[in-house]
Chains A and B, each alone.
Chain A
Amino acid sequence: MNLDTNIGELWPLVWQGAYETLYIVAITLTLGGILGLLLGLALYVTRRGGLYASRATNLVLNVVVNFFRPIPFVIFIAAVQPLARVVVGTGIGNPAIIFALTLAAAFGISRIVEQSLVTVDPGVIEAARSVGASRLHIIRTVVLPEALGPLVLGYTFIFVALVDMSAIAGVIGGGGLGNFALQYGYRQFDAVVTWTAVVIIVALVQVVQLAGNVAARRIMRR
């Protein structure tokens, strides 16, 4: 293994990459998180027996989500590039990556939200209906609070997935640790640089996962 390394002079780029990764993931998790929550809620409430049960709506939503979700992210980036030019004004760089990642995340998150919400006991929803609560009120005050533990775990999982997906940002000129590792590590045959990026990513993921686990445990009080 070639241990000649340029890591000494690349530290500023390491920190820049770490910052960009966090920045891309944070924005994506916020925007995609909100979109995914709404989409997931829509999937959940339109299910058979749901608060707004509608077979047709549920079918359409499922087809849409199932259409976009399996597309490999690297291809998804290319596919939505024209749309990115319209919405964020550019098809390359971090804005375009954030756009593609947000969309992809929304579809993934919608399933995770749906899965978390179906764990809510239908009995407590019936109890809320029996005291005269409206459906929107029930979603806000019963469904979401009762599913908060699984939701926190789900969003933690998505954070890790987004760190993973964001590593491909380089294909359209986006930044971040993944791009840094490919550009200065892999292509320069500098294993030390590659592994430095890997260690930082792993550390980041560990910290967030730990925080997510602790938060979920406190919410579920187990």
Chain B
Amino acid sequence: MTTAAGPAATSVPLVELRDVHKTFPAARGGTPVEAIRGVDLSVEAGEIVGIVGYSGAGKSTLVRLINALESTTSGSVRIGGREIADLKERDLREVRLGIGMIFQQFNLFRSRTVWGNIAYPLEVAGVARAEQNQRISDLLHFVGLADKAHSHVDELSGGQKQRVGIARALATEPSLLLADESTSALDPETTQEVLSLLRRVNRELGITIVVITHEMDVVRSLAHRVVVMEAGRIVEQGPVVQVLSDPQQPVTRRFVSTIVDDEPDAEALAALHARHPGHFVKLAFRGDEVRQSDVFAELLSRDVRFELVYGGIEEVQGETFGNLTLALDGDPAAVTAAVAAVADLVPTTELSR
């Protein structure tokens, strides 16, 4: 273990999965499904980790291994250093009390009021009534639903339902919150509302959050770190800015391209060429090492004219990066020399017709 990477790395990770496999037995007449195929994952206390992947990538199963709603086929799952992979159901219930979970379809009890929903985990935990009341009241204020305490679940909007879900998940003061596609059933505005509530949960209550999503926007605006899953494996992970600005795997690039204009695809490129003469290059600006003005000055000094035809500047959690596609126009030799000079300043990709 290294000791150089700050305080978090020296302590035990809150969640630690080692070579975890999960195979679901065959349905009648079918074949067994290998949902998780050897996953290693650490989640440090206090961080927000986004797990992205297409449906069927195994992310829902993975998150259910963390609170033992599903059992592992093999491998080790440690929560706060404690191995849970071979605990008995009775002991697992205790582990689950320390892990909150929210769901895409909210999964609220329709037979209970808002108050009753938040009370449920407290009843299960055997918390005294007076303490329950105080806790529920605090939570209702925290999620901004104090006036809805005695409403029935059916009377709430989607965003309100998810806020009740969050309050219920926080009732037993867990150190970890699992969010399973928690905003996928919500409209964009309500999504932002729920995301900002989750940010408060992390910042103000210090609760570690693992979010599963297929929406990169959720990752960009909420997560510190992103984990990309494909076919039951983790194929890429890293800080959000790094993964968004420099995706390595094809699946990651596809996800990133949903929110970042990386480079024009073949169709867009053909359309751009039809409108703009000249030579196309994509420049990848990262951090503040290279200023755009330096690059543009270099081009102009070589008598190469340019036009910005595609791309944009992204801001992620205070860091910016940009992918700019330029159409260069001028004497062919000058253009070639200019591209070579620019390539010394900033990663440059030539986009052929």
Q: Is A50 an interface residue (CB 8 A)?
A: no
Residues on the A chain within 8 Å of B172, using CB? 131-132
Residues on the A chain within 8 Å of B120, using CB? 128, 131, 133, 141
Q: Are B121 and A132 in contact (CB under 8 A)?
A: yes
Q: How large is the interface on B (under 10, 10 to 19, 20 to 34, 35 or more residues)?
A: 20 to 34
Q: Is B284 an interface residue (CB 8 A)?
A: no
Q: Is B4 an interface residue (CB 8 A)?
A: no
Q: Are B99 and A146 in contact (CB under 8 A)?
A: no
> Which of these binds chain A: B43-51, B108-116, B231-239, B244-252?
B108-116
Q: Are A133 and B93 in contact (CB under 8 A)?
A: yes
Q: Is A74 an interface residue (CB 8 A)?
A: no
**Complex interface bits, B86-106 against A, C-beta within 8 A gives 1, otherwise 0:** 000110111111011101010
Residues on the B chain within 8 Å of A132, using CB? 92-97, 121, 124-125, 172
Residues on the A chain within 8 Å of B121, using CB? 131-132
Q: Are B109 and A221 in contact (CB under 8 A)?
A: no
Chain A proximity of B181: nearest CB distance (Å): 12
Knowing A148-B111, A221-B154 touch, does A126 contact B69 (C-beta < 8 A)? yes
Nearest-CB residue, chain B, relative to A220: B110
Q: Is A142 an interface residue (CB 8 A)?
A: yes
Knowing A132-B121, A132-B125 touch, does A127 contact B101 (C-beta < 8 A)? yes
Q: Are A145 and B69 in contact (CB under 8 A)?
A: no
Q: How large is the interface on A (under 10, 10 to 19, 20 to 34, 35 or more residues)?
A: 10 to 19
Chain B proximity of A215: nearest CB distance (Å): 14
Q: Are A130 and B109 in contact (CB under 8 A)?
A: no
Q: Are B109 and A131 in contact (CB under 8 A)?
A: no
Which chain B residues in 115-162 approach chain A with CB under 8 Å?
A: 120-121, 123-125, 152, 154
Nearest-CB residue, chain A, relative to B28: A48
Q: Is B3 an interface residue (CB 8 A)?
A: no
Knowing A132-B124, A137-B124 touch, does A146 contact B103 (C-beta < 8 A)? no
Q: Is B31 an interface residue (CB 8 A)?
A: no
Instruction: Name A124's contact: one of B92, B93, B107 (CB within 8 Å).
Output: B107
Q: Is A217 an interface residue (CB 8 A)?
A: no
For the complex, give the distance between the alpha carbons of A137 and B124 in Å. Answer: 8
Residues on the B chain within 8 Å of A133, using CB? 93, 120, 124
Q: Are A145 and B105 in contact (CB under 8 A)?
A: no
Residues on the B chain within 8 Å of A128, using CB? 109, 120, 124
Q: Is A62 an interface residue (CB 8 A)?
A: no
Nearest-CB residue, chain A, relative to B104: A123
Q: Is A213 an interface residue (CB 8 A)?
A: no
Q: Is B67 an interface residue (CB 8 A)?
A: yes
Residues on the A chain within 8 Å of B154, using CB? 221
Residues on the A chain within 8 Å of B103, using CB? 123, 126-127
For the complex, give the distance between the alpha carbons of A3 and B251 in Å. Answer: 86
Residues on the B chain within 8 Å of A164, using CB? none
Chain B proximity of A45: nearest CB distance (Å): 15
Q: Is A85 an interface residue (CB 8 A)?
A: no
For the complex, give the distance between the alpha carbons of A81 and B110 in Å. Answer: 45
Nearest-CB residue, chain A, relative to B92: A132
Q: Are B111 and A130 in contact (CB under 8 A)?
A: no
Instruction: Name A221's contact: one of B93, B108, B152, B171 (CB within 8 Å).
Output: B152
Q: Are A131 and B96 in contact (CB under 8 A)?
A: yes
Q: Is A206 an interface residue (CB 8 A)?
A: no
Q: Are A134 and B93 in contact (CB under 8 A)?
A: yes
15 new A-B contacts at CB < 8 Å, known A127-B103, A132-B125, A221-B154:
A123-B103, A126-B69, A127-B107, A128-B120, A128-B124, A129-B96, A130-B99, A130-B101, A131-B96, A131-B121, A131-B171, A132-B97, A132-B121, A132-B172, A146-B110
Q: Which 4 A-B pairs have the closest CB atoms?
A: A131-B121, A123-B107, A145-B111, A132-B93
Q: Which residues of B contact A (CB under 8 A)?
A: 67, 69, 89-90, 92-97, 99-101, 103, 105, 107-112, 120-121, 123-125, 152, 154, 168-169, 171-172, 178
Identify 30 residue pairs between A and B in the complex whose beta-carbon atoms are under 8 Å apart, listed by A's number: A123-B103, A124-B107, A126-B69, A126-B103, A127-B103, A127-B107, A127-B108, A127-B168, A128-B120, A128-B124, A130-B69, A130-B96, A130-B100, A130-B169, A131-B96, A131-B97, A131-B100, A131-B121, A131-B169, A132-B96, A132-B97, A132-B172, A133-B124, A134-B93, A142-B109, A142-B111, A145-B109, A145-B111, A146-B111, A221-B154
